[in-house]
Amino acid sequence: MSAFSSSSSSSSSSTTTTTSRPFPIIPSFLVSTILAFVPIAVMGGSTAPTSIPQVDFGKMGTVGLGGAFSGLDWYTSDSPFASSSSSSQQSFSSTGDTLFYRTEDGIFRALGSTNDGGIINSLCWSSSPDSTNGTLFIGGTFSSLSGKSANNVGSFSLSTNEFSALSSGLSGNVNTLYCDNDNHEVWFGGSFNAPIGQGGGNVALWSTSSSAWQSPSFGGLNGNVATIIPSSNKSSIYFGGDFTTTFLSNSSSMNSTSRTNINSQPNAPINTTTVGQSGYLTPLTISASASESSQYQIQAGPSSSSTSGYSDTNGLLCPDSGTTWLAQENTISNVNLVGNQYLPATGVRMVNGNDNGRSTKYFCFTTLPDYAELNMTYTDPTTKKNETCTTHCPLFNDPSISAQDFIFTQGTHNLTGFEIQLKEWTGDGAALKSVSLLTDGAYSSATGSDASDTCSSAKKSTIQSVGDWSSRTAATDSATETFLSSTISTRNPTSAQVTFYPHVGSAGQYDIYVFIPGCLNIGDCDGRTSVDIEVFPLRGGLGWTSTISEQVQYDTKTLVYSGPVDATSDAFSPTLSLALASNPAAPAKGNNYIVVADRIQLVLTGITQSGSTISSSSSSSNGTNTIGTPITNSTLHGNSTLNVAYGVYEYTRSSNSTLNAATSALTNDTETPLTRLGFALDAALNASGSAASSWVVNTIVVANNTVFVGGDFSASNNYTNVISIDTSSGAASALASQGLSGVVNTAAIVGGYVFFGGDFTSTASSGGIALNYIARYDPSSKAWAALGGGVDGYVTDLLASTSSTNQLIVMGNFSHIISSNGTSTQTGGYATYDVSTSEWLNTGIVFGNVSAGAVPSSSSGISSESFFAGKVYGSAGNSIGGVATLSTNDDGNAVISSLNGVNFGTAGSAASPNPSSTSSRRRSLMKNASHSLTRSWLSRYTDILVERAHNVLSNRATPPTIPNQISEAPAVLAGAFWTNSSESGKPTITILGGNFSSSSSSSSSSSNNVEGIAFYNEKQGGLTGPSTPIQGVVKTLNVINNNVYIGGQALNVQNVGSGILVYDLKAGNWVTGGMPTLNPPSGINNVTVNAIRTRGNTNTIVVAGNFGTAGSLSCTAVCLWDSKNAQWSTPGSGLSAGEVRAIDFAGESSDTLIAAGSFALSTGDVAYAASYSFSNSSWTPLGTLPGPALAIAVDDKNSSNIFAAGYSTSDGSPYLQQWNGATWTAQSDSLAPGSLVSQLAFVPMKSEHPSQGAIESDRMLMVSGDLYFENSGNVTSALYDGSTWYPYLVGTSSKGELGTGGSLFWSESSFSFKVRHYLARGLVVLVAIAIATGLILLLVLIAILLAFCFRRRERKDQTLYEKQDVDSDSDVNSTHQNVFNNVQAALEASLIGGGLATGTAAAAAAGTARNRNDNRASDPSSYNSGAYPIGSDDDEEEQEDEGRETTMRYDFDGPELQDGELPMKAGQRIIILDDEQSTEWWFAKDPMTGKEGVVPATYGKFQLISSS
C-alpha cells in the first residue's frame, strides 16, 4: 500500500461494548423546553473518530483544555508519537529538510528527509515513469535522500515509496523544476554545470521515458535560473532568473518599449489649412501673463480708435480666447513679441479676424533678434497646392477656414521674438484673432516659466522637482537662459530630481533631446557630474533609461530617446526625469556634485497611421551643438548591432536554432514579446547602478495571453518587482501602484486572480494598501487586494490546489495567518486560502518553514493529496495555541476547536529559564519514541525523583520533596470563566493562566503585553491582560463573584503583591490590601500555590500549595480564606511540612476536603493523601500510597471512591490507585514508567460502557499530563474506565515534540453524568411540528372550555363551588397523586441537572418539592465538581432532616430501571425520606452519594437514625 493511501485509523486499545437502553419517556410539559435547547448549528473543529470513546462535554458547559502544546489531535494509531507509527512511518527531521504530504483527511505525514543541513528548493509531480500514482521529482542542495546517495536531484515513487537518484545528479544548487508530462520530460534550473558536458549549464533536461539526461536544444543559460514554466498553450517554455541573452539587431533602435501600436491624430482645429504634417505639430503659444512677468513684451499697434473692445493684445497669443484685435483704420500695423529666451519654432498658425467686416489679406513674418524675414510654405485652400511666400503671405477671409499654417521653409528656427506686419486688409482695416508658434513636437523648461506655458491650463507643460534646486541664469550671444542647479555633497548624496511633463499634441515618432548648458559660461565645471535620464513615452509602456554626462563646456543638446510617444491626455502624460546618477561621475574638484536641469525638446520625426510610419522632414537643428556625449553605461546605442535581454528567456519548441543561448548571439527572428521585455529590464538594470547586484527574476506566471513577471527589479517611477506583458500585442504594463514594495518570490493564478508572494508589506507607491507578504491582483480591474491580514513572514511558494478550484496553497517562512480583523492563527509555514469566500481555512499546523510544494494533476488518482518540503519538525491536525475548546456536536461527538485569535509567543512569564531536565526530556522526544528511547529520558527524570526521596526518608517527619518542573512556554495551566453581567449581551470571559506571554490582540483594547494571565472575550476574540502584567507561572484560578483568585509559582505583580493575587474583573484592576501575604516555608525562596477551590456554597476558599505562613499565621501547605470576613485560618491543627499538589471535596455539602501531595500531618506522620473534616476540624491520613500524589479526583463527591496519581519513591514509576473508603487499590499497570500525571477529572460519556472496577458506566476518568503506554506510545490525555486505558488526545509542541496536558476546566460547577440520548434531527423536526399542531388545537379547546365554564359558573350557586373545592383537595392529597409527584420530581431534576434548568423547569421542580414532607430538592446523578463555583456571602449551612435508615436486601439495578428510580446494591445503606405516600414504593437517599429516588418498599427494612 502506498504511503499516502487513505486508511482507517483505529485505537490500539480494546474496544468497549455499549449497552443500549430504550429512549426515555419525556413528560410532554418538558418537550418544549427541551426543543428550546436543541442545538441547530454544527460546531466547527475536528470531530473525534469513532475508534475512541466519546465524552459528552456538552454537559460540562464550556470546556477548555490547557497545556504546553501548539497542536492538539485525537489519538489514532497513526499519531506521530504512537508506538505503532514508529516503525512503519518516517519521521520529520530536525537537522535536514523533510519531504512530506498532506492526506485527504488533513494529516501531515513524512516521506523522507535529506542529509543533515540539506535543503529542498523545488518539487514537481510527473505522471511518468510511474503511471499508477506518479513520481515526485526533487531539487535542492543535498547529498542524500533518506540515506540514499543523491546529488541535488532525486525522485520519489508514490507507488513503491522509494527514493531514487537521477544518474550522478547535478553539480550545484537546483532552484526550480518543471515536469512536462506531455513530452515526458523534467526541466531543472539553478546554478550548476551541464550534466552531460554541453556548454552553458544552469538548465538540465531529464527524460522520464529513457531515465537519462538530455541536452536542451538551446544549450543552457549563462546565469542562475530561478523559475521555469510553460506558456499558456505549452508551445514555449519560459525561463527566469539572473542571466542575460544576446540578440543580433538589424538596425539601431533606442525604442524602449515593445508597444508600437500608436495611432497619430492631428491636434489642429477642425478646418485648419495645414501644410504636410503641420496638423500634428504642437502650438507653442505664449502665456497671457508673460508680459506681466517681463519675460516677454507683447505689442500690437496701432489699434483701432473708432471701435472699442478690440484692443486687447494678450488675446492674440491665446487661440481659444474668442477675442479679436482690430488695427487702426487704413493703417499698416505690426504685432511684435520681444523676449529674452530662445523659442524653437517650426512655423506659425494664423487665425484671421473676420470681424466687423474687417480681415487681413497679407502679412510678413520677421524673426528676432536677427530681423530675418522668413520664407514660409503654405497650402492654397483653393488649389490645394503648396506655395511659398516671404513679403506677402496671404490670409484667406473665408469664414469656414478656422486657421492657416505657415511652415518655415528652411526648418526649425530659434528665435527670441518675432514681428508680424499686417500689410493689406479688407474693410476699414486689418483684423487678427490669434498667432501661434508651431514646434516640431513639444518643449519644456526646468524653470517652468518659458514658452512651454500656454493659455489653457489643460495644455500646459509642467515640471516637478525633488530636492534642493536653485534658479540660475546664463548669458548667451543673443539671449539669456534660465535653468536649475543643485549642489549635492559627495559624502552624503541626497535625492535631487526634476521631472518634465511636456504637452504633446499628437502621438507619433519623436526624438527626445535634453539641453545641457555649458559649464564654461556658467563657471561650474569643477563640480559637474553625470545624471540618469528616465523616459516614459507610452501609456502602459516601459521606461527607457540612460545615463548622460553633464561635464560639457558648451551648450549641448543630447538625444536620449527615439521612438513612439503618446499624446498628452487627461489619463496620461509623457514624462522625462533627470536625477543625480546612481553611480555619478566624480567631480573634477571639491566634495560636491553639481547637477543642472535646463530644457527638453521633443522633435516629431514621423506619424503612425494604420501601423505604418510616415517620416517627417520638417525638423532640423539649428543654433546649438547637437552632438550628445553619453557615458559608458548609457543604454543609448547609436550604432549598436546587439541587443541584450536580462532575466527572461523564451524557448520556442518549434525553433530550429541550434545556437547556445549561454554563449552565442541569437538571431533576431527568435525574439518574442518576452524577449523585448528582457531588453527593457536590461536597460533598467544598467541604469540602476549598485542596486543591480540583487536583481533577479524569481517567478513567471501566465494568465491567458498575459505573462506576469516578478522578482527583485525596478525602474524608478514606473514598475517595482512586478510587471506584465501582453504576448499578443507586445504591450508591457506596470501593475497598479507601480507594483510591490519588496521582493516577489512566487506567483500563482486561482479563480482569475493573480496571487503574488514574497518579502513585501505594501504596494510600491506611497499611500498604497497594506499587504503582508502576499497579495491578490485583479487583471480586469487592475487593483490590488489583501488576503485578510496576510501572514507574518515571507512567502516562498504558492500553488493552485487541484482538489479545489478555489483554493490557494501558501508556503513560506511564516508562523501565523492573519484575519481581516487582525486576529492571528498559528499555522506554521503552510496555509490555505479560499478565494471564493476570501477566508483563510483551518488546515492544521506544521512546525517549521515550508519551502516548496507540488500537486498532482486533477485527473490523477491522488489529486486530493498535496506534497511539500521544508525544515519542518512536526505537525498537528488542529492548530491550538496552548488552549483548546472541547465541545459536543449535534450528533453527540466530541469536537476540538481553537479560541479565535489566541496566540502566545515563545517566551513565558516565568522568572527563570526552564530546568535543564525539561529541555533534555523535550529533545529526546523529537523523534517518534521507541520503547527504549522513551525509557531513557523517563529513567533520567525518575532518577531525580528517587534520589530526592531517598535523601529525605530517613527523617519520618520530613516528607519527600516533589521536584519542581516548570512547563515549557508557552503553556496554559489553568482556566476559569466569568460572565460580565454589566456589559451588553453579558459575554462570557474565559480566563487563562500559565507560563506564557502575548501581545494584546483585542481590537477593543489598547495594546499591552499579556503575561501569565489573559482574558478572552467570546464576542471580540483575541487576548487582553491586566495593565500591569504578572510575573511567574500561574497554576490555578478561581472566580468568586467579580474577582478572580490567582495562584502559582513565584507570582508577583509590581506594587501589588506576591504569592496569591486577586484581580477585580469588573473594575479591571488589581485588588490591593486586605489579604495578608502567603510566605514561603523555611529554606524555600518562593511561594507556590497549586490549587484554589471554594467549598460548595460557602465563603470558605481552600488554598493549597507550598507555603509556610499566611501573614503571621502558621498555615503550612493548606490555608482557609474567609471571603466574607477577609481572614485566614488554619484547617484544624494544620500540616507541619510539605506541599499539597491537588485538592477535591467529598460529601453532599463538601464537608470533607481531600488533599494530595507530599506532606506531614501535625502528628509528624508523612502522608501523600489525607482528608480534612470541616465538621470536626480533624485531619486523617488516607492509607498508604507508593509516593507523592500529583493529582486527585473524588468520584461524584463519594468519599469511598477516590482516585490518586503520582510516582513511587522507590523507583519513580507512576501509579494510579483507587481509595474505597478503607484501602488503596492499584489500577491497571498500562501506565508505563516515567509517565507524569498533572490532572485527574471525571467526565460524562455519550453512551454507557460496562461498569469496570470502581468507575460507573456513565463516566470515565480523564488523565492528563505526559503519559506513555506500552502498546500505544506517548499521549497527552487518556481515558480510564476502571479497567482499560484509552489513549485520547495527543498534543504537539511548537518544536514538533510531544505536548504536555495541563488542566481541563469547565464552566458548569454541577452537572449530571446521566447518559443523554440524542434524537435524530429529522425526528426532532417532526416532533416540533406535531407539538406546534397540538398547541394550536389545545388553544382552541381551552377557549371553548373557558366559554363553557363561564356560562356554567353563572348558573351555579356558591355551595356547589365549595363542594368542588373540597373534592379537588381530596384528589390532590390522595396517596396515588403524592407518589406520582415524588417520582415526577426525580425525573424533572435529572433533566434539569443535565443542563435544561430553565425557569419553567425550575418552577415545576420547586412546586413538587413543596408537596414533600421533608422539603428537600431531588438531584439524582449530579456531580458538583466545585471546579469554579461562585462563593456565597451568606452564612447559611444546609441542614438535613431526620429519616429512617435501612439496608437493602436485594440488588435494585440494571438497564431496566426507569427515570427517578434509585439504583442500589444488596447490603448498601439507604435513608428513607418518605414512606407514607405508598405502601409499595419508598422515596429514599443514598448517604454515600447523596442521590435520591424511589426504591421498592419490599427491598429493605427500617431502623431510625438521625442524618446530619
| Pair 687, 532: CB distance under 8 Å | yes
- Return the closest-CA partner of residue 658 out of 650, 649, 666: 666
Percent of the chain at pLDDT above 70?
Answer: 79
b/e map 65-82, b = 16+ CB within 10 Å: bbbbbbbbbbbbbbbbbb
- Residue with the bigger pLDDT between 135 and 948: it is 135
- Residue with the bigger pLDDT between 129 and 1116: it is 1116
Which range scores top for mean pLDDT: 310-324, 377-391, 597-611, 1421-1435? 377-391
Burial grade of 207 (CB within 10 A; 0-12, 13-18, 19 or more): middle
Q: What is the pLDDT of residue 1135?
A: 96
- Residue with the bigger pLDDT between 1425 and 170: it is 170
Q: Which amino acid is at 472?
A: R
Phi, psi values for residue 1026, rounded to 5°: -60, 150
Q: From CA 1215, how far away is CA 1201, in angstroms rounded?
A: 16
At 162 the three-state DSSP class reads strand
Q: From CA 83, how far away is CA 61, in angstroms rounded?
A: 34
Q: What is the pLDDT of residue 131?
A: 66
Q: In which residue are the cell numbers 458547559 written?
A: 61
Q: What is the pLDDT of residue 1460?
A: 83
Q: In which residue are the cell numbers 482569475 written?
A: 752
Q: From CA 348, how far away is CA 437, in angstroms rounded?
A: 4
Give the DSSP H/E element, type plus range, for residue 547: strand 544-549
Q: What is the pLDDT of residues 1051-1065, one digit of tens each?
A: 999 888 888 999 999
Q: From CA 775, how far away is CA 735, in angstroms rounded?
A: 12
Percent of the chain at pLDDT above 90?
Answer: 42
Q: Is the pLDDT of residue 758 over 70?
A: yes
Q: From CA 248, how far away is CA 641, in angstroms rounded?
A: 6
Q: What is the pLDDT of residue 1413?
A: 37
- Ranges 320-324, 473-477, 534-538, 1263-1267: which has the least confidence: 473-477
| Pair 598, 445: CB distance under 8 Å | yes
Residue 1292: all three cell numbers together: 504537539
pTM of the model: 0.63
Q: In which residue are the cell numbers 509602456 written?
A: 541
User: Cβ neighbours of residue 694 under 8 Å, at least 6 residues apart?
Assistant: 712
Q: From CA 1159, how far away is CA 1138, in angstroms rounded?
A: 4
Q: From CA 756, how far away is CA 993, in angstroms rounded?
A: 40
Section 637-656 average pLDDT: 75
- pLDDT level of residue 1098 (50, 70, 90 thresholds): very high
Q: What is the pLDDT of residue 1230?
A: 83
Q: What is the pLDDT of residues 455-474, one digit of tens each?
A: 543 467 788 888 889 988 88
- Residue with the bigger pLDDT between 545 and 827: it is 827
At 1326 the three-state DSSP class reads helix
> With left for phi above 0 and alpha for psi between -120 and 50, is residue 842 left, alpha or beta?
beta
At 150 the three-state DSSP class reads coil
Which range scores top for mean pLDDT: 273-282, 347-356, 772-781, 983-992? 772-781
Q: From CA 956, how far away is CA 960, in angstroms rounded?
A: 10
- Return the closest-CA partner of residue 809 out of 863, 743, 772, 757: 757
| Pair 586, 592: CB distance under 8 Å | no
Whether the link from the prior residue into 970 is cis, omega within 30° of 0, is yes
- pLDDT level of residue 933 (50, 70, 90 thresholds): very low
Q: Is the pLDDT of residue 240 over 90?
A: yes
Q: Is the pLDDT of residue 331 over 80?
A: yes
Q: What is the pLDDT of residue 1340?
A: 87
- pLDDT level of residue 218 (50, 70, 90 thresholds): very high
User: Cβ neighbours of residue 1325 under 8 Å, at least 6 residues apart?
Assistant: none
- pLDDT level of residue 762 (50, 70, 90 thresholds): very high
Section 613-622 average pLDDT: 47
Q: What is the pLDDT of residue 247?
A: 85
Q: From CA 376, how far away is CA 395, in angstroms rounded?
A: 13
- Residue with the bigger pLDDT between 475 and 1403: it is 475
- The alpha carbon dihedral of 859, 860, 862, 863 has a sign of negative
Q: What is the pLDDT of residue 788?
A: 93
Q: From CA 1037, how far away is CA 1059, in angstroms rounded?
A: 13
Q: From CA 149, how far away is CA 166, in angstroms rounded?
A: 10
* CA dihedral angle for residue 210, residue 213, residue 219, residue 220, rounded to 10 degrees: 130
- pLDDT level of residue 444 (50, 70, 90 thresholds): confident
Section 1121-1145 average pLDDT: 94
Q: What is the pLDDT of residues 120-159, one digit of tens each?
A: 999 999 987 766 788 999 999 999 999 999 999 999 998 8
Give the distance between the most distant pair of CA atoms in the chain: 148
Q: Which amino acid is at 288?
A: A
At 152 the three-state DSSP class reads coil
- Return the closest-CA partner of residue 352 out of 305, 304, 387, 400: 400
Q: From CA 574, how far away is CA 395, in angstroms rounded?
A: 35
Q: From CA 1038, how far away is CA 1093, in angstroms rounded?
A: 6
- Residue with the bigger pLDDT between 434 and 448: it is 434
Q: Is the pLDDT of residue 853 over 70?
A: yes
Q: Is the pLDDT of residue 745 over 90?
A: yes
Section 428-454 average pLDDT: 75
Q: What is the pLDDT of residue 1252?
A: 81
Burial grade of 169 (CB within 10 A; 0-12, 13-18, 19 or more): buried
- Return the closest-CA partner of residue 294 out of 460, 465, 482: 482
- 448 to 470, 483, 973, 1434: CA distances (angstroms): 13, 9, 71, 87
Q: What is the pLDDT of residues 887-901, one digit of tens each?
A: 999 888 999 998 877
* CA dihedral angle for residue 1496, residue 1499, residue 1504, residue 1508, rounded to 10 degrees: -70
Give the DSSP H/E element, type plus range, for residue 178: strand 173-180
Section 1286-1301 average pLDDT: 88
- Residue with the bigger pLDDT between 21 and 584: it is 584
Q: What is the pLDDT of residue 456?
A: 42
- pLDDT level of residue 295 (50, 70, 90 thresholds): low
- pLDDT level of residue 1373 (50, 70, 90 thresholds): very low
Residue 400: all three cell numbers together: 469656414
Q: Is the pLDDT of residue 1216 over 80?
A: yes
Q: Is the pLDDT of residue 216 over 50?
A: yes
Residue 81: all three cell numbers together: 508519537
Q: What is the pLDDT of residue 291?
A: 39
Q: Where does 18-147 show beta strands of DSSP type E?
A: 46-47, 63-68, 71-74, 98-102, 108-113, 119-126, 135-141, 144-145
Q: Is the pLDDT of residue 1321 over 80?
A: no
- Return the closest-CA partner of residue 953 out of 1235, 1208, 1226: 1208
User: Cβ neighbours of residue 551 under 8 Å, at least 6 residues apart?
Assistant: 519, 525, 528, 529, 530, 585, 588
Q: What is the pLDDT of residues 1178-1207, one digit of tens each?
A: 999 999 999 999 999 999 999 999 999 999
- Return the closest-CA partner of residue 257 out of 510, 551, 553: 510
| Pair 1008, 827: CB distance under 8 Å | no
Q: What is the pLDDT of residue 628?
A: 29
Q: Which amino acid is at 694?
A: S
Q: What is the pLDDT of residue 412?
A: 85
Section 943-955 average pLDDT: 42
Residues forming beta bridges with residue 1277, ordered by sequence position = 1264, 1289
Q: In which residue are the cell numbers 501600436 written?
A: 261
| Pair 734, 723: CB distance under 8 Å | yes
Section 1127-1132 average pLDDT: 95
Burial grade of 855 (CB within 10 A; 0-12, 13-18, 19 or more): buried
Q: What is the pLDDT of residue 1455?
A: 77
- The alpha carbon dihedral of 1080, 1082, 1085, 1089 has a sign of negative
Q: How many CB atoms lie within 10 A of CB 590?
A: 11
Q: What is the pLDDT of residue 168?
A: 92
Q: What is the pLDDT of residue 23?
A: 34
Q: What is the pLDDT of residues 859-889, one digit of tens each?
A: 666 666 899 999 999 888 888 888 999 999 9
Q: What is the pLDDT of residue 188?
A: 97
Q: What is the pLDDT of residue 1343?
A: 84
1113: DSSP letter: E
- Ranges 329-338, 546-555, 763-772, 935-944: which has the least confidence: 935-944
Residues forming beta bridges with residue 282, ordered by sequence position = 439
| Pair 1264, 883: CB distance under 8 Å | no
Q: From CA 953, how far away is CA 1187, in angstroms rounded?
A: 11
Query: Distance between alpha carbon 13 and the CA centroid of its chain, in Å?
Result: 39
| Pair 873, 119: CB distance under 8 Å | no
- Residue with the bigger pLDDT between 1366 and 1278: it is 1278
- 929 to 230, 926, 1212: CA distances (angstroms): 45, 8, 20
- pLDDT level of residue 938 (50, 70, 90 thresholds): very low
| Pair 368, 415: CB distance under 8 Å | yes
At 418 the three-state DSSP class reads strand
At 1367 the three-state DSSP class reads helix
Q: 1375-1393 and 1399-1410 helices cross at what angle (nearest 10)? A: 140
Q: What is the pLDDT of residues 1453-1473, one digit of tens each?
A: 887 788 788 888 887 888 888
Residue 120: all three cell numbers together: 529542498
Q: Is the pLDDT of residue 119 over 80?
A: yes
Q: From CA 23, how far away is CA 1247, in angstroms rounded?
A: 12
Residue 1385: all three cell numbers together: 420530581
